[in-house]
Amino acid sequence: MKDDLVSVIMPVYNGEEHVAAAVESVLNQTYQNFELIVVDDGSEDGTARKLEPYKTQITLLQKENGGTPAGTRNHGLPKAQGDLIAFLDHDDLWRKDKLETCVDVARAHPEARFIFSDFSRCVTGTGEFYALSNSQIFPFIYEAVRDRMYKGHKAFVVPGDKMFEVILKGYPLYPSTMVMRRDLFDTLGSWNANPAIRGNEDFDISVRSTQVTDFIYIDERLVTIQRHEGNISDDIVGQLEGDLRAIDLLLAEQPLSPEAQRLMTHYKGKRLCGLGHTYLRNGAKTLARRKYLDAMRIGSWRAHALLRYGASFIR
């Protein structure tokens, strides 16, 4: 591996509208010691044409469509030569100093193998920004990083066990914000490409990482997540349902401590009740009651779910 080289892996599927801007946001970085690996997951639109002008500046891998961003990212991992591996979805954008900031942080804290940052959202085409950053929407990240700032950057080391609960509470880590040390994948294996958690593989890999490393949170908006009709992450109900499937897989397959299992089961109950409320508000009473019944099987949520279940019959 090459010291300080960052391997950037960009999965793309039918990304002709966005991929050029994403590539440009990497090529224009203030930190230039990187390789950009673009993995085309069998695109059927003009993606290849949009990438043609960059063919001498990127490594382009093409594969048959596999249907999951996780599988597409995994396809690029064997080609990555850097000690640090960053990810950027083809419809997101990086601030010019994203890599420089992350490399500086990685040098300062070699013990932490997972780096992520705050981000902003905007509406594609209009550039209209949402009023709040991700960490303003989910401020409990600050509970975990209080008194952990180090001089030079607004960056914080977050112990794995604290990050575990932050993620379970609902703080989302998006792939485009992530930079990981290569040896983390030696420990974890690859992204989980199980179709059951398509769109929730970021939740899965984040939770698994908390079991083996500390994290670094950079309290700067280094990424812009663009929202449009094709976003997998735009469907809030679908995201929560996917989180539940991911939690079930993690509980079944990961060697978690009894305390970690307890916390994960507790937050599973919270998501079930939240989904029940959402379905009920949308008039889907049968689906709501199913979620409340599932939540009743979790001791810490039994009373709450029972009350909600009963109330669903009189609304």
pLDDT tens digits along 65-74:
998 999 999 9
36 and 160, same domain (yes or no): yes
pLDDT at 231: 52
Q: Are 200 and 239 in contact (CB under 8 A)?
A: yes
pTM of this structure: 0.92
DSSP state of 54: G
104 and 156, same domain (yes or no): yes
Cβ neighbours of residue 309 closer than 8 Å, sequence gap 6 or more: 276, 289, 292, 293, 296
Residue 156 belongs to some domain of the structure: yes
Residue 135 belongs to some domain of the structure: yes
Q: Is the pLDDT of residue 229 over 80?
A: no
- CA-based nearest residue to 314, from 295, 288, 275: 288
Query: Which of these ranges, 29-38, 236-245, 247-256, has the smallest mean pLDDT?
Result: 236-245
Confidence of residue 301 (pLDDT cuts 50, 70, 90): very high
SS3 63: strand
211 and 271, same domain (yes or no): no
Let me know if 285 is exposed, middle or buried by CB neighbors in 10 A (0-12, 13-18, 19+). middle
142 and 10, same domain (yes or no): yes
Residue 272 belongs to some domain of the structure: yes
100 and 208, same domain (yes or no): yes
- CA-based nearest residue to 224, from 106, 158, 113, 126: 126
Residues 157-177, mean pLDDT to the nearest whole number: 95
pLDDT at 311: 94
SS3 155: strand
Of 167, 202, 234, the position where a domain reaches its end is 234
pLDDT at 132: 85
Q: Which domain holds residue 304?
A: 257-311
Residue 242 belongs to some domain of the structure: no
147 and 264, same domain (yes or no): no
CATH of the domain at 88: 3.90.550.10
Higher pLDDT, 3 or 251: 251
Q: Is the pLDDT of residue 145 over 90?
A: no
pLDDT at 228: 55
Q: Which helix (H) or strand (E) holds 258?
A: helix 258-281
- Report the share of the chain in percent with pLDDT over 90: 84
89 and 137, same domain (yes or no): yes
pLDDT at 164: 97
Confidence of residue 294 (pLDDT cuts 50, 70, 90): very high
Q: How far apart are alpha carbons 302 and 306 in whole angstroms?
A: 6
Domains: count for the chain: 2
Residue 244 belongs to some domain of the structure: no
Residues 230-249, mean pLDDT to the nearest whole number: 81
187 and 290, same domain (yes or no): no
72 and 196, same domain (yes or no): yes
Q: How far apart are alpha carbons 212 and 157 in whole angstroms?
A: 14
- Report the share of the chain in percent with pLDDT over 70: 92
Query: Which of these ranges, 13-17, 94-98, 235-239, 279-283, has the smallest mean pLDDT?
Result: 235-239
Residues 136-164, mean pLDDT to the nearest whole number: 82
35 and 74, same domain (yes or no): yes
Q: Is the pLDDT of residue 178 over 80?
A: yes
Residue 250 belongs to some domain of the structure: no
pLDDT at 85: 98
Q: Report angle CA 136, 137, 143 to the nearest 5 degrees.
A: 60
Of 199, 234, 269, the position where a domain reaches its end is 234
Of 201, 234, 267, the position where a domain reaches its end is 234
pLDDT at 128: 65
Query: Which of these ranges, 110-124, 134-148, 185-199, has the smallest mean pLDDT?
Result: 134-148
20 and 125, same domain (yes or no): yes
Q: What single letter denotes the amino acid at residue 138?
A: F
SS3 221: strand
Residues 22-34, mean pLDDT to the nearest whole number: 98
Residue 99 belongs to some domain of the structure: yes
261 and 229, same domain (yes or no): no
